[in-house]
Structures are given as C-alpha cells and as structure tokens.
Amino acid sequence: MGNTTTTKADLVNTISHRTGLTKHETESVVDCLFESIIDSLKTGKRIEIRGFGSFNIRYKNQRLARNPRTGEKVSVDAKNVPTFKISKEFKHAVSQSLKV
C-alpha cells in the first residue's frame, strides 16, 4: 500500500471522465458539495450520507494541555470541531479492497 494522496483536481478529473461533464462543470459541483457541507455544519446541522458517513459538530471542553517544545502547561479554550464518522458500508468496502 503506497502513501499517495488524491487531490480535489484528481477527484474533478475522475468525476468528469465518468459523467461526461466538463471539468469546469464538475469543479462547480464539487465546490458546491463542499460549501453545502460547510454551510450546514456552520448552522449546527448534522449531515448524513447513507452508505458514506455523517458529518457533525462536537463540542470540546476547555482543558489543560502541554506545549511539546517547552513542556509548559497551556489552557486550550472550549470549542466546536467538525467530525466525520464513516459508515459501516464504507468501512467494509475499503477494508475488503485493501486486504492482502
């Protein structure tokens, strides 16, 4: 298993090739999808895509952490962070394809 990365441009190329849409049209669709996910999360809405996974906002309490360079304790403010939970179907499909 190599250490490769798929970029947004790679996704656009693949989707464009599979659908017959132009790269410009495909990029607009991909951008719209990402923006829609971000906009929903900004308003606190959960997103569930069956067979893929769900995006949610998780609240993290204020805590004390350690600066790894100095060892000094620092306070980390409470915050909301976006999370993604993979679906069972997605997890199974990927794990099956990566078996040696």
For 13, 27, 43, 55, 86, the CA distances from 10, given in Å and listed in that order, are 5, 10, 30, 23, 21
Residue 2 has pLDDT above 70, yes or no: no
Q: How confident is the model at residue 3 (pLDDT cuts 50, 70, 90)?
A: low
SS3 of residue 52 by DSSP:
coil
Cβ 19 vs Cβ 26: under 8 Å: yes
What's residue 17's pLDDT? 97
What DSSP element (H or E) covers 2? none
Q: Which of 47, 69, 68, 66 is nearest to 57 (CA)?
A: 47
The model scores a pTM over 0.85: no
Q: At what angle do helices 23-42 and 8-19 cross, to 10 degrees?
A: 120
Q: Give 13-54 pLDDT, tens digit per residue.
A: 999 999 999 999 999 999 999 999 999 999 999 999 999 999
* Domain residue spans of the chain: 7-45, 46-100
Name the CATH superfamily, with its identifier, for domain 46-100. Answer: IHF-like DNA-binding proteins (4.10.520.10)
